[in-house]
Homo-oligomer: A and B are copies of this chain.
Amino acid sequence: MRHGGDLISYKKYYEGELIDFSSNINPLGFPEGLEKELINSLSHMTSYPDIKYRCLKSSISKYLNCDMENVVVGNGAVDIIDNFTQIYPRIIVILPSFSEYEERALIHNKEVIRLKYKEDFTIDLDSIEKVVNHKALLVLGNPNNPTGLRIERETLIKLYEIVKQKEGYLLLDEAFYEFCPVDYDSIEIFKKDSYKNIGIIRAATKFFGLPGIRLGYACVSKDIKEKYEKVELPWSVNALADRVGRYIFKCKDYIKKSQDYMERERNFLLGRLAKIQGIRPYPTHSNYILIKLLKWKEDYVFEFFLKRGLIIRKCSSFNGLDNTYIRVAIKDRNSNIKLIETFKELEEII
């Protein structure tokens, strides 16, 4: 199982509604008013989406506070990652991270270099410096998945200087950006360099609660945009996803409310998990928590939760983690309580 969210495969094992802690989606759902907007937009199914996505890119650029000429779009963030791995011959990944970074590179027969995060899941700049060159695309989650950590501002700037000096390319996957406490905005930081040697991916999938819509976007330099548009599939974003993207970024109240909600639930869940025996939850900036299992293997814990109607994410499918890690999403309060209670039940059988 390379990905979370595959509830259909598990429905037969539990009578009743499964709670999905395996995919990391905004517990508040999508912005208010979006359904109405889409109902009024259904006639757009009869036309091709604008092949240049002009209105969509304009809407994204206002949200990101960058120039529209710096925006590219894709069929989810993974499509953007896929297009980038086609542009560069050497792909550097740091493990553990989202498996598709490596998968897409291998599919396109690219050289893959696998580095490791340090034990606390921060970045080792020296190891990166040794392998970056003008052919290299370094793909980094920020925050990283499944570890949940943002790169510290100073580290990111140092990393960027290394990549730039070596003429490589730094691709930040910031699909979970809006969930994180406000520290810095990569799009703001690298604007003065016109995003030379750096691209920043974001998406509607996680924060806007729309994994079914498949809308990813990125801020890149104009020369890379040209290369990107040569490899991208025509009409990669569906016409309704295009409409979604013209609507959601204006929903400022929803954005603020979601951020506050997540901060509260993150503190709540981290606090409660810290008291459970037999597990070690890692600190996180994001809307999911990586957990080291001290007493069990992932399969046992997965089955234990499944029997109680909860789907968690086993982590041995992340290259770089073994079968003693799981990942859980931070959800609404009731679900989070259910999670804690299930951990408490588990705790009793040490």
Contacts and interface: CB of A to CB of B under 8 A. Distances in A.
A184 interface: no
Interface string A30-61: 10000100110010111111111010000000
A231 B106 CA distance: 10
A196 B213 CA distance: 34
B100 A48 contact: no
B238 A213 contact: yes
Interface string A6-36: 1110000000000000010100011000010
Contacts of A48: 3, 5-6, 23, 211-212
A209 B46 contact: yes
A76 interface: yes
A235 interface: yes
A6 B78 contact: no
Interface residues of A, number: 51
Contacts of A38: 42
A82 interface: yes
A73 to B, nearest CB: 13
A229 to B, nearest CB: 11
**Residue among A76, A230, A233 with max Cβ neighbours from chain B (10 Å):** A233
A35 B30 contact: no
Given A39-B39, A233-B75, A46 B239 contact: no
Contact of A214 (B30, B238, B244): B238
A236 interface: yes
A211 B231 CA distance: 21
A262 to B, nearest CB: 16
**Residue among A35, A45, A48, A108 with max Cβ neighbours from chain B (10 Å):** A45
A107 B79 contact: no
A240 interface: yes
Interface of A: 2-3, 5-8, 23, 25, 29-30, 35, 38-39, 42, 44-52, 54, 75-76, 78-79, 82, 86, 100, 107-108, 209-214, 230-231, 233-236, 238-242, 244
